[in-house]
Structure 1
Amino acid sequence: MKVSANQIKKLRELTGIGIMDCKDALIKSNGNFDKAINFLRKKGENIAIQRSFLDVKEGALYSSINDDETFGVTIGLSCETDFLSKSKCFLDFLSMLSKISLRHNNKKKFLSSYYHGKKIQDLIIEKMGVVGEKIELKIFERIESPFVTNYIHNNYKIATLVGFSSHDGINSTIAKNIAMHIAAMNPIAIDEKGIPDSIIEKEKEIIFHQVEKENKPNNVKEKIILGKIRKFILDNTLINQKYIKDNKITIQEYMNKFNKNLKINIYNRITFP
């Protein structure tokens, strides 16, 4: 199979691996990026886990929280150019839509709702005429919890919402720190129970291929595999991750400093690649 220079470039940007290795991985995986990355990881390449290989589009994200801090919404607008996605005109429009989105439970209801006598969908179409690019509401994510906070990365490409079991013991700054941690560290799940079996099985397969090459007894290899799986779980579950502002403690330990009964009920981390 032939692979294009753009495919190789994209895989190289995602993984940081050399051009020839990326080309070989794409050929062996018939151009499938997910399979190509697994192929490289089985070879022992140190690649950060990526969980989304959707077509890259330009755009920006914005999240808002209601006054009672009991629910929040993240929306994402796509556009054609990076220049527009960073412009004040585009971001101001996105911010306005974000605040209106709090009145609605899903994308369909939001787009068909009215603001100052016009449908939201029609406002988006009007904006397209102003900026000269196709604009589309790609993302609408809403969460509810007794206490919800948000964080928007300064490039508007990553947004997180976090729902806590209580407001007791923590203020907005503490909650925002955890939301910021999620944006930076991209956990798979809150705890081990939340990791899908399919991800664990895939990771076991990758680790098995890595360890299989080592000239060690089988019982030693089994211990290495178990240790690597355990490390994978700790590194990728939110409450077990080392807190980015103090790597001597985990997120769970950070929360325990303020309220030992505090739990994270739900979170989402949205990216706009």
Structure 2
Amino acid sequence: MAISAAMVKELRERTGAGMMECKAALVEADGNIEAAIDAMRKSGQAKAAKKSGRTAAEGVVMIGIAEGGKRGVMVEINCETDFVAKDSNFQAFAEAVVATALAGDAPDAEQLAAQTLVGEPSTTVDASREALIVKIGENVQVRRLLRFDGVEGVLHSYRHGVRIGVVVELVGGDESLGRDIAMHVAASNPLCVSEEQVPSEALAKEREIFKAQALESGKPEAIMDKIVEGRVRKYLEEVTLVGQPFVKDPEQTVAKLLKQAGAQVRRFARIEVGEGIEKKTENFAEEVMAQVRGN
């Protein structure tokens, strides 16, 4: 069967694949567009599987808030390079993924993958991800999804570029305060809201370290406990949101800022692209030297 330009054009529009790949698929399917799409999807899945083991530590954090700040999501979508993170195809996928997360009720990234992608009723998030891998030639992963349901206050958000995202649930205050608190969390990266939320194991570990440091300093044992407790208090100020100096006005703490506004932070979440992923480091000078020595 003769393959017309119109057939190739339709297949390109439906799959996003290149002209030559579309023409080859149509020839193989004897002009049957649906059969060509099925074959290309199977081929795409195989190509995506080959790339799935490659490190994807770049990407974007996307935030979606609805119902007047009563419901929200934050999603991390990864790729391999900063260049692809700026690609329009990748960005369109990321926007569709966060819209899908916000429209549905998937509790995590794994279940989100099986959801029908918003704007693409015939494909799932994972199928679209695999098609994107084939198109851009890099591993793409929907790594994390955080949901904010059962909101008592109002959700406020802040994104620093595309790499850091913060969502804060604020009871009281206003939109300006909510954004300022979210911006502070992005910059200062507190561990939790208040002292009561600091994990006991983390506090015990820090106390042990401070005690060892105090012993090595040669200070009298009579004041050892006071030294340790003083350092613990300092540690708590540094890791809790309310204990930290406010980034826009270091003369006052976040606790004081909230008190003045009659507001309270119920919870917050902060995601930074690639955190916790071990990135491959390349030293080209050492690589060249190794090749020279091998010759």
Sort the TM-score into its range (normalised by shorter chain): 0.7 to 0.9
Structure 1, gaps ≥5 residues long: 1-54
Structure 2, gaps ≥5 residues long: 1-54, 275-295
TM-superposed deviation, 1:138: 0.4
TM-superposed deviation, 1:163: 1.1
Identify the residue that residue 149 of structure 1 maps to in structure 2.
Answer: 156
TM-score, normalised to structure 1, is: 0.73
Verify: 1:272 aligned to 2:260, yes or no. no
Q: 1:127 aligns with which of 117, 124, 132?
A: 132
Which amino acid is the alignment partner of residue 174 of structure 2?
N
* Residue correspondences, number: 213
Deviation track 1:32-86 (CA, whole Å, cap 9, x = no partner) reads: xxxxxxxxxxxxxxxxxxxxxxx88222211111142112111111212232123
Verify: 1:228 aligned to 2:234, yes or no. no
Deviation track 1:148-191 (CA, whole Å, cap 9, x = no partner) reads: 1111111x2211111123xx4x3222101101101111111111
Identify the residue that residue 24 of structure 1 maps to in structure 2.
Answer: none
**Is the 2:56–2:80 Cα contact (8 Å) retained in structure 1?**
no
TM-score, normalised to structure 2, is: 0.68
Closer, same or farther: CA 269–124 of 1 in aligned 2, 3 Å: same
**Is the 1:72–1:150 Cα contact (8 Å) retained in structure 2?**
no
Pick the structure with more helix per residue. Answer: 2
Q: 2:116 aligns with which of 114, 117, 120?
A: 114
Query: 243-252 vs 75-84, which deviates more?
Result: 75-84
**Is the 1:59–1:157 Cα contact (8 Å) retained in structure 2?**
yes
TM-superposed deviation, 1:90: 2.1
Verify: 1:175 aligned to 2:178, yes or no. yes
Residue pairs, 1:245-260, within 5 angstroms: 245-259=248-262
Runs of 4+ in 1 over 6 A off after TM superposition: none
Q: CA RMSD in A?
A: 1.8
Identify the residue that residue 96 of structure 2 maps to in structure 1.
Answer: 96
Could you tell me the percent identity over the aligned residues? 24
Identify the residue that residue 81 of structure 2 maps to in structure 1.
Answer: 81
Query: 194-203 vs 65-74, which deviates more?
Result: 65-74
